[in-house]
Structure 1
Amino acid sequence: MIQSISTELETQLQEKIDFKTKPIGSLGTLETIAKQIGQIQNTLSPTLNQPTIVVFAGDHGVVKSKPVSPYPQEVTQQMVLNFLQGGAAINVFCNQNNIDLHIVDAGVNGDFPENEKLITAKIGLGTSDYSEGPAMNSSQLEEALAKGKEIVKDLHQKGTNIIGFGEMGIGNTSSASLLMSYFTGIPIEECVGKGTGLDDNGVHKKAEVLRSVFDLHSSNIKTPIDAIQFFGGFEIVMMVGAMLEAAALKMTIIVDGFIVTSALLSAYYLDKNILDYCIFAHTSGEQGHQKMLDHLKVTPLLHIGMRLGEGSGAAVAFPIIKSSVEFLNKMATFKSANVSEAN
Structure 2
Amino acid sequence: MTHHEQPSDRLDTLIRSVLPADRAAMSAARERQGQLTKPPGALGLLEDLSVRLAGVFGTPRPHPAGSAVIVAAGDHGVVAEGVSAFPPEVTPAMVANFLAVTPAGPGGAAVNAIARTVGTRVYVADVGVNADLPDHPALVQAKVRRGTRNLRAESALTRDEVTRAVLAGADLARVAVQDGADLIVPGEMGIGNTTPAAAVTARMLGLDARDVTGRGTGVDDATLTHKAGVVTDALARGASSAQDPLGVMADLGGLELAFMLGVMLQAAALRRAVVLDGFVEGSAALVGVALAPNLADYLFPAGVCAERGHAAQLAHLQLTPMFDLGLRLGEGTGGVLAVPLLLSAAATLRDMQTFAEAGVPGSETQDRS
User: Which TM-score tier does this pair reach, normalised by the shorter chain?
Assistant: over 0.9
In 1, distance between residues paired with 2:53 and 2:318? Answer: 19
State the secondary structure of the residue aligned to 2:257.
helix
Letter in 2 for 1:301: M
Q: Does the alignment pair 1:44 with 2:60? A: yes
- CA-based RMSD of the aligned residues comes to 1.4
| 2:130 matched residue in structure 1 | 109
What SS does structure 2 have at the residue aligned with 1:149? helix
Match of 1:58 in 2: 74
Deviations 1:158-191 (A, max 9, x none): 3322101111101100000000000101101111
Question: What's the secondary structure of 2:180's corresponding residue?
Answer: coil
The CA distance in 2 between the partners of 1:199 and 1:45, in whole Å, is 49
Evaluate the alpha carbon distance shift between residue 256 and residue 220 of structure 1 in structure 2; reply closer, same or farther with a 3 A threshold: closer
Asked whether 1:136 is paired with 2:141, we answer: no
Q: 1:15 aligns with which of 31, 48, 52?
A: 31
Other-structure match for 1:341: 362
- Aligned 1:166-181 pairs, distance under 5 A: 166-181=187-202
TM-score scaled by structure 2? 0.89
Whole-angstrom distance in 2 between the partners of 1:10 and 1:138: 37
* Paired position in structure 2 for 1:230: 251
Q: What's the counterpart of residue 209 of structure 2?
A: 188
| 1:1-12 matches, cutoff 5 A | 1=16, 2-12=18-28
- Contact 2:277 2:332 (C-alpha < 8 Å) held by counterparts: yes
Q: Please give the secondary structure, in 2, of the residue aligned with 1:51.
A: strand
Q: 1:220 to 1:334 in 2, by over 3 A?
A: closer
Confirm or deny that 1:91 pairs with 2:112. yes
Find the partner of 1:213 among 221, 229, 234.
234
Q: How does 1:29-40 map to 2 (within 5 A)?
A: 29-40=45-56
Give the distance between the partners of 1:37 and 1:133, measured in 2 at CA. Answer: 41
Alpha-carbon distance between aligned partners in 2 of 1:338 and 1:122, rounded to the nearest angstrom: 59
Q: Secondary structure at the match of 1:245?
A: helix
**Would you say how many aligned residue pairs link Structure 1 and Structure 2?**
341
Q: Shift of residue 220 of structure 1?
A: 4.9
Equivalent residue in structure 2 for 1:161, among 170, 182, 186? 182
Residue 111 of structure 1 and its aligned partner are, at CA, apart by: 3.0
Corresponding position: 1:312 with 2:328: no
> CA contact under 8 A between 1:34 and 1:328: conserved in structure 2?
yes
SS at match of 1:113: coil
The one-letter code of the counterpart of 1:61 is: G
Q: Indicate the residue corresponding to 1:286 in structure 2.
A: 307
AA matched with 1:92? A
SS at match of 2:181: coil
How far is 1:150 from its partner?
1.3
Q: Distance in 2 between matches of 1:49 and 1:320?
A: 12
Distance (whole Å) between structure 1 residues aligned to residue 273 and residue 20 of structure 2 = 13
- Once the two structures are TM-superposed, the CA of residue 219 in structure 1 deviates from its matched residue by 4.6
Is the CA contact (8 Å cut-off) linking 1:101 and 1:117 kept in structure 2?
no
In 2: Cα distance, 1:220 partner to 1:46 partner: 40
Match of 1:331 in 2: 352
- The structural deviation recorded for 1:206 is 0.8
* Selected match of 1:78 from 77, 80, 93: 93
SS at match of 1:161: strand
Query: Shift of the alpha carbon at 1:156?
Result: 2.1
Indicate the residue corresponding to 1:257 in structure 2: 278
The answer to which of 38-47 and 113-122 deviates more is: 113-122
What SS is found at the alignment partner of 2:73? strand
Provide the identity percentage: 35
**Alpha-carbon distance in 1 for matches of 2:353, 2:192:** 50
SS at match of 1:269: helix
Partner amino acid, structure 1, of 2:297: D
Q: Offset of 1:132 from its aligned partner?
A: 2.4
d(CA) in 2 for partners of 1:153, 1:137: 25
Contact 1:45 1:328 in 2 (8 A): yes
Q: Counterparts of 1:330 and 1:226 in 2: how far apart (Å)?
A: 45
Structure 1 unpaired stretches of 5+: none
Q: CA deviation at 1:239?
A: 0.9
User: C-alpha offsets along residues 289-318 of structure 1, whole Å, 9 cap, x if unaligned?
Assistant: 112112222210011111111101011111
Q: Which shows bigger deviation, 89-98 or 115-124?
A: 115-124
Please report the TM-score for the alignment, with normalisation by the length of structure 1: 0.96
Q: Which amino acid aligns with 1:173?
A: T
Would the aligned equivalents of 2:239 and 2:251 in 1 still touch at CA under 8 Å?
Answer: no
Shift of the alpha carbon at 1:35? 1.0
Q: Which runs of 5+ in 2 are unaligned?
A: 1-15, 101-106
Q: Is the 8 A contact 1:240 1:264 kept in 2?
A: yes
Q: Give CA deviations for 1:191-212 in whole Å, capped at 9, x if unaligned.
A: 1110111011110011112211
Per-residue Cα deviation, 1:240-292 (whole angstroms, up to 9, x for no partner) = 12211111111101001000110111111111110001111000001111121
**How far apart, in 1, do the equivalents of 2:288 and 2:29 lie?**
28
Specify the alignment match of 2:146 in structure 1: 125
